[in-house]
Structure 1
């Protein structure tokens, strides 16, 4: 889903773009039904950040900015996984493979994500599933590199 599609689908939320440069490293922030995004990002970057912030909307509660707290880190992980699944997901990787994408840049472009976001998602999936996982008639490999194999 593109940035505009995500915004349209979640029009019940107040999604605004603003200058977040005062807060070092912050590209997005969810608070009480509001999502603020750094305005100085590409549309693709905004879609990735918005997906994670939607993850916070649907999966987290309270102020989790203090990442030294284990409970907050778990909530952050859930929100990131939600975003990865929203933008990419195992089926997205399979669709990219079926579309003929073989390189990380091709897959990222096809899925409208940044290469960095794709890498983080694959690392997250590797952590969750291990070397590979199966979906329908496909095996999705995460190690040694990302790969999809169709099982007949």
Structure 2
């Protein structure tokens, strides 16, 4: 299970994880080697997506970035999300899903173990980063619409 794997990964980095009831609008927080996940989140799939972003903060952020009116904090937030997208929806997994004949976004999210909104955000970030497509090995990954084509040469 993805959530359990992320918990083990966090523990390997010395990060403690606690599920506590938090305010409804707060899904997760990271500070000083501790991640809090809102216990009220109903699925482990959503908890995995949130935990990945909080681990992204461990790997990419410094200091208190709660004030999102500061552009430096927004940049750190974006970096943590990108870390999570690349961790849970790596380009290679898009190719694996293609080989597994996954055909719908719902099935693709299931294949990866992420929520559909997280998958959509990852694809949008990749499109922002790479444009309409990118090349990975002998594959072209198109982001709009999402698809994979094998190059022959």
| Count of aligned residue pairs for this structure pair | 149
TM-score, normalised to structure 1, is 0.94
Matches within 5 A, 1:42-61: 42-61=43-62
Match of 2:83?
Answer: 82
| 1:108 to partner: Cα distance | 0.1
Q: Superposed, which structure 2 residues align to 1:1-152 within 5 Å?
A: 2-11=2-11, 12-21=14-23, 24-41=24-41, 42-143=43-144, 145-152=145-152
Deviations 1:94-118 (CA, angstroms, capped at 9, x unpaired): 1111111111001100000000000
Question: 1:92: how far off?
Answer: 1.3
Alignment gaps of 5+ in structure 2: none
Q: Distance in 1 between matches of 2:99 and 2:32?
A: 40
Distance (Å, rounded) in 2 between the aligned partners of 1:148 and 1:122:
13
Q: CA deviation at 1:9?
A: 2.0
Mapped partners of 1:92, 1:27: distance in 2: 26
Q: What CA distance in whole angstroms lies between the structure 1 residues aligned with 2:84 and 2:95?
A: 17
4+ aligned runs moved over 4 Å, structure 1: none
Shift of 1:10: 1.9
Counterparts of 2:73 and 2:54 in 1: how far apart (Å)?
A: 15
Question: How far apart are the structure 2 equivalents of 1:147 and 1:93?
Answer: 8
Task: Return the alpha-carbon distance in structure 1 between the equivalents of residues 109 and 16 of structure 2.
Answer: 27
